[in-house]
């Protein structure tokens, strides 16, 4: 963006009427009162956003965990443009594009175990709700209709659908909507324990026993009432909470013992970020269902989905073959533009060895982020795959304010960070250079000191 264009964009932004837009997950009054021009973004290329003032912001979280390849890779841009020349929208009910079948085949090919049936949605939230419906219907079809209970986890984030907020464990996402919650949902304890885990590199060695709480819930409710357990392999939205060594394996064992389905919410972990195709492979545990979104097509066009085991799909394939087996779907399931972007994304993931490159970037991030130990008010540093978080002590009686101030300091220094409460999360795109990584960490260091 040249100087004239930046000046024009800045003037246009100054004249914006901010009132009609109810911004999601945003402090609307604060934003509209301060009218921050450094938070109005008009361009994205590579690892950077451009503000209306022409400022370049390094994208420290790959958009919202979704633009893992950087912004506007040429192959993806061209694929979407080419698709528009052929078709803009193709229905998903009773008809389909051949490209959608090919995409499902490609996703199944990189999924773990016998997870080889793909149901497309438009977001991670929809993917979670879909996975819960599949799990409950699966047990009903097998003659175990009493299995309706879902077990989530404290601090878990599974989107904002009704099933997602019911199984999720982030209080702010739940408290307003208690009357809407699914009945009978229970929660495992979270695995974020500073006393035992602070400053762990990768997976903490303490905490596998926390999975045994599932046995207590089984004893409390009886296994015959429990349909599924849903967890994020690595919890991103709450601030990069990493599973203890052996924890996920223990959950798998207990689920198998009691006939409970295990769902991995891989909306953040899937398609390379963990150093493998999915967190399931990175952590060596195969679930029964995987939810995905975000990086499946680099965040270019909304897309999500569920990958199911062969046996789960087969259970639905009964009754007359002219009847619908699962009464569920979305108008925009496997949207033509989203499918085109996903094919191009998978081409890049394969051709450029992206999961392996994320593994290498993750090792660099680990070494770099832990140099922040000892900085003012830093109480924990966590990393997993190519993601990391720095947790700060909250200001007395003002939880989240230090995080907001650090976020705003980051903008001044050309960093677009992500904060959750007083935790700063970082998950830069795979194209991040060593120099950019160093600049990001040193910028965060300066921000921490500025808000001390």
Domains belonging to the chain, first-starting first, are: 3-65+353-450 (3.90.1150.10), 77-351 (3.40.640.10)
Tokens of 371: 């140099």
Distances (CA, A) of 428 to 34, 44, 66, 389: 27, 14, 10, 12
pLDDT score for 252: 98
Tell me which residue has tokens 């795979």.
430
Give the pLDDT of residue 14: 81
Give residue 70's Cα distance to chain centre.
16
Q: What is the mean pLDDT of each run of 10 residues along the chain (452 residues)?
A: 58 86 96 96 98 97 98 98 98 98 98 98 98 98 98 97 97 93 96 96 97 98 98 96 98 98 98 98 98 98 98 97 97 98 98 98 98 98 98 96 97 97 98 98 98 94
Residue 310 makes CB contacts below 8 A (sequence gap 6+) with 114, 115, 116, 117
d(Cα 293, Cα 312) in Å, to the nearest integer? 21
Torsion from C-alpha of 132, 135, 141, 144, nearest 10 degrees: -110
**C-alpha to C-alpha distance for 427 and 28, rounded to whole angstroms:** 25
Q: Tens digits of per-residue pLDDT, 80-124?
A: 999 999 999 999 999 999 999 999 999 999 999 999 999 999 999
Q: How far is CA 64 from the centre of its chain?
A: 8
């Amino acid at each position: 963006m040249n100087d004239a264009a930046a000046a024009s964009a800045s003037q246009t932004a100054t004249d914006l009427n901010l009132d009609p837009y109810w911004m999601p997950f945003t402090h609307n009054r604060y934003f509209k009162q301060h009218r921050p021009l450094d938070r109005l973004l008009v361009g994205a290329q590579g690892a950077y956003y451009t503000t209306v003032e022409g400022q370049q912001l390094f994208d420290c979280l790959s958009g919202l965990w979704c633009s893992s390849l950087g912004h506007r890779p040429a192959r993806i841009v061209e694929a979407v443009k080419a698709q528009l020349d052929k078709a803009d929208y193709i229905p998903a009910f009773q008809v389909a594009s051949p490209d959608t079948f090919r995409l499902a085949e490609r996703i199944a090919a990189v999924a773990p175990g016998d997870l080889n049936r793909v149901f497309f949605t438009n977001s991670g939230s929809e993917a979670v709700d879909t996975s819960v419906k599949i799990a409950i219907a699966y047990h009903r079809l097998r003659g175990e209709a009493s299995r309706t209970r879902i077990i989530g986890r404290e601090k878990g984030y599974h989107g904002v659908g009704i099933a997602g907020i019911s199984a999720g464990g982030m209080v702010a996402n739940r408290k307003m909507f208690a009357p809407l919650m699914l009945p009978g949902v229970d929660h495992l304890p979270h695995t974020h324990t500073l006393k035992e885990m602070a400053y762990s590199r990768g997976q903490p060695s303490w905490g596998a026993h926390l999975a045994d709480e599932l046995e207590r819930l089984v004893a409390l409710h009886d296994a015959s009432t429990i349909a599924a357990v849903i967890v994020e392999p690595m919890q991103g939205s709450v601030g990069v909470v990493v599973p203890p060594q052996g924890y996920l394996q223990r959950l798998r064992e207990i689920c198998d013992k009691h006939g409970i389905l295990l769902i991995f919410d891989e909306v953040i972990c899937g398609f390379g970020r963990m150093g493998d195709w999915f967190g399931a492979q990175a952590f060596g545990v195969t679930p029964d269902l995987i939810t995905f979104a975000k990086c499946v097509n680099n965040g270019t066009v909304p897309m999500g989905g569920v990958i199911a085991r062969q046996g789960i799909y087969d259970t639905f394939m009964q009754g007359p073959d002219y009847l619908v087996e699962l009464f569920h779907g979305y108008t925009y399931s496997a949207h033509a533009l989203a499918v085109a972007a996903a094919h191009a994304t998978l081409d890049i993931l394969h051709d450029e060895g992206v999961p392996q490159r994320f593994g290498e970037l993750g090792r660099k991030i680990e070494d770099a982020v832990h140099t922040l130990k000892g900085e003012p008010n830093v109480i924990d540093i966590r990393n997993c795959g190519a993601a990391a978080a720095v947790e700060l002590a909250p200001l007395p009686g003002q939880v989240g304010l230090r995080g907001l101030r650090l976020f705003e300091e980051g903008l001044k220094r050309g960093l677009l960070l992500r904060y959750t409460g007083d935790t700063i999360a970082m998950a830069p795109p795979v194209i991040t250079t060593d120099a950019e990584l160093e600049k990001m960490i040193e910028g965060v260091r300066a921000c921490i000191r500025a808000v001390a």
